[in-house]
Structures are given as C-alpha cells and as structure tokens.
Amino acid sequence: MSNAIATQPTLAQTVWQAEGAARWMRNVVLVLAGTAILAISAKINVPMLPVPMTMQTFAVLLIAMAYGWRLGAATIIAYLAEGALGLPVFAGGGGLAYMAGPTGGYLFGFVLSALIVGWLAERGWRNIPSSFAANILGTVLIFGFGFLWLTQVIAVAKGLDFAAAVPIAFSAGVAPFILGGIVKSALAAAVLPLGWKILGKMRG
C-alpha cells in the first residue's frame, strides 16, 4: 500500500499513546471530552452575516480530524445518544422530538461528516489545503443531509410536493449558513496543522 493511502496515526493517538486496556480508557475519556466540547460549541453564538453561527460544525470537523473516523464517529454517536436521552446538549435543547424536528438532519449528518473527514485525516490530509478540502467536503455532507431532511419536514408540514419544498428549505436551511460553513472549515483547517506543528516542536 502506498504512503498516499496508508493509514496514519491521528493527532489524538500520537499525543496519548496507549495499548490494551489503557487504549480503551483513553478512548472513553476522549469520547466524553468530545461530547462535552460538542455540547458547549452548540451553545456558542458568533455574530455572522447573514445570520449568527454556532461553533458546532467547527467542533465536529476538529474532532473528526483529531480523532480519526472510528473514534470521531463514535463521539458524534455518543453525543446524539446524550441528546436522545433528553440532555440539553443541542443548540435548542434535547430529546427525541427535537431530533425529529427540522434540524435533525444536520445532527445525523454530523456522523457521516465525521466518518469521511476522519478517514481522510488518517490518510494524510493534514496540511492546511488538504484539511480545508476535507472540511469543505464534510460541511457539504452536513448541509446536504440536513437540507434533504428539512425539505421533507417542510413538505409534510405544508402539504407540498418534495420538489416544491426544495427552494423553501434551501433558503431557510442552507443559503444563510454557507459563509459560516466556509469560515468554520477554514478555521478547523488552520487549527489541526497548528496542533501537529506544536507537537513536533515539543518532541524536538
């Protein structure tokens, strides 16, 4: 297998090396830390045009790149499980009813995004340009899944055909957040290489 596609250790694995039972303990700690970061990021509102943005997508991308696809996706799934149990970890609260609502698709899109972005990170997409490309792809997946979900919710709520609900869903659930998605993708792409650089300097 060539170096271009070979699996490489993630930032989390490199910083906290462990084997056997210690590795399981490390993974549990990282998952719990990740779900806490996701919950906090969902409550952070940053002024942005045309609408304010939360930092949740940024956290999803950063966790995926730092953890890799397996642990990254597991962290997102654990986060969704916390929300399903009623913990107020989402931007608007928690519970199954919230997850089935208009924004539920974006939440489930987090899992797919973490899988793809984490997989790419494990295959060397670690410098700023490649990290940015991976993050843009992950953001598109989140928006795409959320858009399809929102379109169906609107179609059912308003008694419209799916096609008729498409422009409404795009205007409400995608267009206002495109700029914010690009900004968060760029920010995450800058943070991860910085983490690798700091780690390299610490190790001499």
pLDDT tens for 31-63 read 999 999 999 999 998 887 777 789 999 999 999
From residue 136, give the alpha-carbon distance in Å to each of 67, 124, 133, 185: 18, 16, 5, 6
Percent of the chain clearing pLDDT 90 (strictly above): 83
DSSP secondary-structure letter at 52? -
- At residue 48, φ and ψ (nearest 5 deg) are -160, 150
pLDDT tens for 1-20 read 344 567 899 999 999 998 98
In 3D space, the residue among 106, 107, 133 whose CA is nearest the CA of residue 120 turns out to be 133
From residue 26, give the alpha-carbon distance in Å to each of 17, 29, 90, 128, 188: 9, 5, 25, 27, 23
Domains along the chain with CATH numbers: 11-202 (1.10.1760.20)
pLDDT of residue 204: 63
CA dihedral (18, 24, 27, 29) in degrees, to 10, reads -100
Percent of the chain clearing pLDDT 70 (strictly above): 97
pTM of the predicted model over 0.85: yes
Q: Are strands 45-46 and 53-54 parallel, antiparallel or unpaired?
A: antiparallel
Contact, 89 vs 60, CB < 8 A? no
pLDDT of residue 203: 76
Query: In this structure, which amino acid lies at residue 187?
Result: L
pLDDT of residue 3: 47
For the chain, how are helix, strand and coil distributed in percent, rounded to 5?
A: 75, 5, 25
Which residues lie closer than 8 Å to 144 by C-beta, 6 or more apart?
109
pLDDT tens for 114-143 read 999 999 999 999 999 999 999 999 999 999
pLDDT > 80? residue 188: yes
Contact, 193 vs 127, CB < 8 A? yes
